[in-house]
Structure 1
Amino acid sequence: MIGYYVHHQGLGHLTRLQAVAAHLRSPVTGLSSLPRPASWDQDWVQLERDDTMSSPTIAAADPTAHGVLHWVPRHDPGLAGRAAAVSDWIRHARPSLVVVDVSVEIAVLSRLCGVPVVVLAMPGVRTDRTHTLAYDLADALLAPWPEAAHTEGWPRAWRAKLWAVGGLSRFDGRRPGPARSVAPGARRRVLLLWGGGGRGTSAAEVAAARAATPGWKWVERGPGSPSPDLWADLAAADVVVTHGGQNAVAEVAAARRPAVVVAQPRPFDEQVATARAVDRLGVAVGVGTWPDAADWAGLLDRALSRGGEGWRRWSTGHGAASAASRLDAMVDRHRATTTQIPSTRAARTAS
């Protein structure tokens, strides 16, 4: 049995769970304050929210425990409830391991319960005191990106337990379509992708970019205008402009589309790090902030010239299956170990 914690912020953590779970041999239980997805056919533990305090109350509640953790506000009833629910589930389900995507506090709690922990490794600056605690105690660090992307400055111990499987996409295994053929004089297509974690780019800035690129037709997709068929939208795009969230980048990589990756504001400069990585590795054009309108024509042309085949260095096409295989292998190892440990009652009888 695998427990898989899913953070409620954005949509990417849940999408990643579903992509990996589709390839697992082991049963998996979702642990999240998100509601159980309609398509989920395995166990799901609904956790209480821990972010319902008002801002003035949170400020006085020392949510970081003097800088040791990320989110443990004093006297938050949801925090106590979710910790109790996770530890109670571990006690009764006796999982072989818990995957944490992402929460330092859930990683620590699970390991305190004696369960091996696999932590999703995140882009950005993660050498702070709190992340170091989670990464140090993890039995493995599962990275949904290539090793060359984000491991500069990492300790040797982290590298030794890194599973860099590349992008994890719901579209893994699909055959990317060829580059679009555009008739002379016809406008090329831009697919603009937003995620569920919020954006720092205004509608006015997008409108200015459209106006500055009359040779391009922009199609915008996001929480307010979801795609009826994202794979078809990707295939129809000459260039994809996407935020720097890991799942969005993985979807574009799976489709092998030319792209401009634009970082949106996130803690620890997560999306900035991803934008820099795709640009440095030559797989897409990456920028740290939304560009000025006058820059967009050149950026789109650069992306088109770079093409989409470089995404092979980011996405193998079987990242989710590789992650599942490693998790199943860890389950097998720990199942073999735990079956050799006598129960408390049996141990007392034997003595």
Structure 2
Amino acid sequence: MPYNYCFYIHHHGAGHLMRAVAIANKMPEHQITFIGSDLMRHANAIPDYVDCIHLPMDTPTKQDSYAKSESKSFLHYTPLNVHGLLERNGLMIDFFRRNPQTIIIVDVSSEVTLLARLCGIPSVVIRQHGNRTDPAHALAYESADLIIAPFSQEMDTPVNHPFWNKTLYAGGFSRYTDCKATLDWEAKDIGILIGEGGSPINSSFVHHLRKELPKEVKLHVVGKVEPSTSSLDNQTHVFYHGRVDNPQEALRTCSRVICNAGHNTIMELADLRKKIICIPAERPFNEQTDKAFQLERLGCAVTVLEQHMYTVDWNACLNYADCIDLDRLQKLTSSNAISNIKKGLESLSEKHFVHSTDKVTSYEQYS
């Protein structure tokens, strides 16, 4: 193919990269590039046919002695005199110069979307939940040729998203979508799944939950958390699995899972047919809180706000979770989601590149 699909992947958490990997796995016939600051952390998951461009971080270092932060309404991150920021923008522009026939899929950054547009590179923005009506998002959404929502339209609120009319609601997906798990009626344990983007779920909470639940209930903790020294005397039937590449086996005996409301986490648990109790973590634009609200509205999860995690009746919450309709939960994802995204991207490439000669001629008549 003469054109390139370039995925800009934000380094916060693991969900952005895993989403790009899932899409790339369905497009092996295309030329695909990943570009981001922390790609090596999940290098084993990136397909061999994907080229990677590693960007420096855009945060000040000790060498940036003149660095300072300035707030602007039309951008989210606007530091001055940061060498890493200048270097990463230069690397992206160099890539665009070498690969002018590129579609960039931005997951996520308003600044990268606008940089690509200023370079004349067609852009696609991955839509996230949350209140994103601020000027920076509005500029990015307006400049994008296509907005892709990796969830169904019923999980969105158009009033909070003025560009919904140019959004492709592809449906949700995860690495487990094409092999959705069957319901294990013997699964009675409780899972605690901690993502990598920052979470209020920690050893103190595990200790609290252990005290609240009957002693015979087994807890399986997946993620970066270790038992605190003060809680070692209260670890009966608590199993710490640590970080795992594939949480499916660690959660095999769990029917209900307590987690944050990160997109990738929710979609994976839906495909694994786990009943979800989510504690939305603090994120910019209230992303996880909005997603948790949508999930609860659809009857797909029980939500506990962070400020209530030590006061809520957890036995009652888990009983509520038992009432979640698994068929409704499973509709959060679709086996056609990535195919829908692939078609959208290929259609955009055809629009911009397949008939590019005719378009140049039509522009010349106005010069």
TM-score between the two structures when normalised by the length of structure 1? 0.88
**Is contact 1:145-1:166 (8 Å) kept?**
yes
Is structure 2 residue 33 aligned with structure 1 residue 29?
yes
Whole-Å separation in 2 of the counterparts to 1:119 and 1:34:
20
Structure 2 residue corresponding to 1:338, chosen from 339, 350, 356:
356
Whole-Å separation in 2 of the counterparts to 1:103 and 1:303:
35
Q: Which runs of 4+ in 1 moved over 3 A?
A: 56-60, 339-343
Is structure 2 residue 182 aligned with structure 1 residue 177?
yes
1:18 Cα deviation from its structure 2 partner:
0.3
**Larger RCO (CA under 8 A, 6+ residues apart):** 1
Whole-Å separation in 2 of the counterparts to 1:58 and 1:266:
29
Whole-Å separation in 2 of the counterparts to 1:153 and 1:117:
23
Whole-Å separation in 2 of the counterparts to 1:145 and 1:194:
22
Q: What do residues 244-275 of structure 1 show as CA deviations (whole Å, max 9, x unaligned)?
A: 10000110111222111110111111111111
Structure 2 residue corresponding to 1:103, chosen from 90, 106, 109:
109
Q: 1:202–1:236: structure 2 CA closer, same or farther, 3 Å change rule?
A: closer
1:166 Cα deviation from its structure 2 partner:
2.1
Q: How does 1:31-110 map to 2 (within 5 A)?
A: 31-36=35-40, 37-38=43-44, 39-41=46-48, 42-53=50-61, 60-62=68-70, 64=71, 66-110=72-116
1:162 Cα deviation from its structure 2 partner:
0.7
Unaligned runs of 5+ in 1: 183-187
Partner of 2:231: none
**Is contact 2:256-2:275 (8 Å) kept?**
yes
Partner of 1:297: 315
Give the SS at the match of 1:100: strand
Is structure 2 residue 19 aligned with structure 1 residue 16?
yes
Whole-Å separation in 2 of the counterparts to 1:127 and 1:288:
23
Partner of 1:185: none
**Is contact 1:234-1:255 (8 Å) kept?**
no
Letter in 1 for 2:353: R
Q: How does 1:1-351 map to 2 (within 5 A)?
A: 1-24=4-27, 25-36=29-40, 37-38=43-44, 39-41=46-48, 42-53=50-61, 60-62=68-70, 64=71, 66-154=72-160, 156=162, 158-181=163-186, 188-214=188-214, 215-224=216-225, 225-227=242-244, 229-289=246-306, 291-292=309-310, 294-340=312-358
Aligned residues: 336
1:231 Cα deviation from its structure 2 partner:
2.3
Whole-Å separation in 1 of the counterparts to 2:272 and 2:151:
16
328-337 vs 136-145, greater mean Cα deviation? 328-337
Letter in 2 for 1:334: H
Letter in 2 for 1:328: E
1:338 Cα deviation from its structure 2 partner:
2.5
1:342 Cα deviation from its structure 2 partner:
5.9
Give the SS at the match of 1:282: coil
Whole-Å separation in 1 of the counterparts to 2:15 and 2:57:
18
**Is contact 1:10-1:196 (8 Å) kept?**
yes
Give the SS at the match of 1:2: strand
Give the SS at the match of 1:192: strand
Letter in 2 for 1:278: L
Could you say what the CA RMSD is over the residues aligned between the two structures, in angstroms?
Answer: 2.4
Q: What do residues 318-348 of structure 1 show as CA deviations (whole Å, max 9, x unaligned)?
A: 42332223212222332213244569xxx9x
1:196 Cα deviation from its structure 2 partner:
0.9
Whole-Å separation in 1 of the counterparts to 2:302 and 2:67:
39
**Is contact 1:284-1:308 (8 Å) kept?**
no
1:94 Cα deviation from its structure 2 partner:
1.8
Q: 1:52–1:235: structure 2 CA closer, same or farther, 3 Å change rule?
A: same
